[in-house]
A and B are shown apart, each in its own frame.
Chain A
């Protein structure tokens, strides 16, 4: 049994290992750390996650700020997309009302909004709302413009999944709930929400992924002074590519673990996979 698990692990790690080896070989051959940093330089950055990097904060600090930004944008996206998705999935009227607008906006890459969003929000941050707070360092870093970009990125996958979830509830399930006395609110809370929960979780997982991807872009906007995206950009300007790569690795790892977390939750809905 453990033998098998070990084999599987080896297989999974085979390609990353090969990639790392060829990277290192190439880096040694080229011998230009600004183009291709050696792994030990990258590893050195990763090995000291709490040490201050350049003039910005440490890897951990930057990661935390990025995570908070993503969390803000993501939660706002979910709070808007889930109720709207339920409305659009359930009421034909709501669907017809919103569908064309949404289908027009959906294909627009979130980054295309950057100039407009900067014009709207400038570099205003949460600190403008809570100026006297002692944790203003964090508030300072939650710029509305970044949160908004992440919101746009995360919004559509959550919305589409929710709509799809509502639409795939068998009509007869809703009918039998109504014959048992469910109406309006009880129908919503006792049938529709539990029935679409798995779809929502899938939507959240994809939305968080997209939001996380928008992050780097959002953090490269003017007014940014922290975060993994900022760190990468800043390190690039100083040609410190080993920091760039370290930042990329951290973004990848954090994204991976968030995705795994949601996958774990998804798998808890046993009934979805086992239904007939």
Chain B
């Protein structure tokens, strides 16, 4: 479904030097698959996600979604960032209808759709609240609902739970899996946390620095409704941890 072919990205750093952020990357993501990307800081995982989102242009190579070349952001690739990105002047409900308004979907229908996704993320009672009235975890839930409401083919998540406390983080991971299973979505999820990746992913793409490239792709063969305390977790954790250590 998503095809990344021979992708490279240079960018200029503040000294004006050209830095190779991502080098010769190949990756295929299948429909309804949950792929996590892990790696140390500066391994190009965020760059890769931004390229798929269309927020940056590749220097070389190409990315296609269902055979169509990506050249710019589009609502068919929803993005959830680590930073809180809700529009502060809009209520929760109006934040979720944002993408629908742009699609020129009628107000009533838009509110209905938004209500559905608000329910999905468990915030039906907060539709009229403003983002500043919500906790970080609630804001990220709304951001997920906002991205989903635009009905994307693929959901791109860049450390969306990175700024949350451990307990909230686990809660949201559970919810994300539930949403993913019930809604038949394809997700690429960038994270620092190996544990998070093992809990969420069908496959984990382990990346490596200088230049950013894929080190290995680990398939997680654990049944769904995973238990974080499961023994086999440790095996995966040790394996991936070792790979990342080699990259220090």
Chain A residues engaging chain B, CB cutoff 8 angstroms: 170, 172-173, 175-182, 186, 190-191, 194-195, 197, 269-272, 274-276
Counting chain B CB atoms within 10 Å of each CB, the highest count among A173, A178, A180, A275 belongs to A180
Q: How far is the CB of A206 from chain B (nearest CB, A)?
A: 22
Q: Is the CB of B77 within 8 A of A190?
A: no
Give the residues in chain A near B130, CB-CB below 8 Å: 270-271, 274
Q: Is the CB of A173 within 8 A of B85?
A: yes
Q: How far is the CB of A255 from chain B (nearest CB, A)?
A: 29
Give Cα distance in the complex from A176 to B84, angstroms: 10
* One of B83, B89, B99 near A194 (C-beta < 8 A): B89
B150 within 8 A of A: yes
Give the residues in chain B near A270, CB-CB below 8 Å: 130, 132
Interface of A is mostly: helix
Give the residues in chain B near A191, CB-CB below 8 Å: 87
Q: Is the CB of A179 within 8 A of B87?
A: no
Q: A172-B85, A181-B74 are in contact. Are A190 and B53 (CB under 8 A)?
A: no
Q: Is the CB of B98 within 8 A of A180?
A: yes
Q: How far is the CB of B55 from chain A (nearest CB, A)?
A: 6
Query: Which residue of chain B has its CB nearest to the CB of A273?
Result: B132
Q: Is the CB of B81 within 8 A of A172?
A: yes
Give the residues in chain B near A197, CB-CB below 8 Å: 89
Q: Is the CB of A176 within 8 A of B103?
A: no
Q: Is the CB of B132 within 8 A of A276?
A: yes
Q: How many A-B residue pairs have CB under 8 A?
A: 75
Q: A175-B55, A179-B55, A276-B132 are in contact. Are A269 and B89 (CB under 8 A)?
A: yes
Give the residues in chain B near A272, CB-CB below 8 Å: 88
Give the residues in chain B near A176, CB-CB below 8 Å: 79, 81, 85, 143
Query: Which residue of chain B has its CB nearest to the CB of A186?
Result: B102
Using a CB-CB cutoff of 8 Å, which residues 68-104 of chain B contact chain A? 72-75, 77-79, 81, 83-85, 87-90, 98-99, 101-103
Give Cα distance in the complex from A178 to B90, angstroms: 16
Chain B residues engaging chain A, CB cutoff 8 angstroms: 53-55, 72-75, 77-79, 81, 83-85, 87-90, 98-99, 101-103, 130-133, 143, 146-147, 150
Interface of B is mostly: loop
Give the residues in chain B near A179, CB-CB below 8 Å: 53-55, 73-75, 77-79, 147
Give Cα distance in the complex from A271 to B84, angstroms: 14
Query: Which residue of chain A has its CB nearest to the CB of B133?
Result: A274
* One of B74, B83, B98 near A177 (C-beta < 8 A): B98
Give the residues in chain A near B81, CB-CB below 8 Å: 172, 175-176
Counting chain A CB atoms within 10 Å of each CB, the highest count among B55, B88, B103 belongs to B88
Q: Is the CB of B74 within 8 A of A271?
A: no
Give the residues in chain B near A271, CB-CB below 8 Å: 88-89, 130-132
Q: Is the CB of B132 within 8 A of A181?
A: no
Give the residues in chain B near A175, CB-CB below 8 Å: 55, 73, 79, 81, 85
Give the residues in chain A near B147, CB-CB below 8 Å: 179-180
Interface pairs (20), CB distance under 8 Å: A170-B83, A172-B81, A172-B85, A173-B87, A176-B81, A176-B143, A179-B77, A180-B102, A180-B146, A180-B147, A181-B99, A181-B102, A181-B150, A190-B101, A194-B87, A195-B89, A197-B89, A269-B89, A275-B132, A276-B132
Counting chain B CB atoms within 10 Å of each CB, the highest count among A173, A179, A186, A191 belongs to A179
Query: Which residue of chain A has its CB nearest to the CB of B146?
Result: A180
Give the residues in chain B near A173, CB-CB below 8 Å: 85, 87
Q: How far is the CB of A108 from chain B (nearest CB, A)?
A: 36
Counting chain A CB atoms within 10 Å of each CB, the highest count among B90, B132, B150 belongs to B132
Q: How far is the CB of A166 from chain B (nearest CB, A)?
A: 15
Give Cα distance in the complex from A182 to B79, angstroms: 13
Give Cα distance in the complex from A180 to B84, angstroms: 15
Q: How far is the CB of A276 from chain B (nearest CB, A)?
A: 7
Q: Is the CB of A275 within 8 A of B88?
A: yes
A-B complex: 7 closest residue pairs judged by Cβ atoms: A180-B99, A181-B75, A274-B132, A176-B85, A178-B73, A179-B79, A271-B88
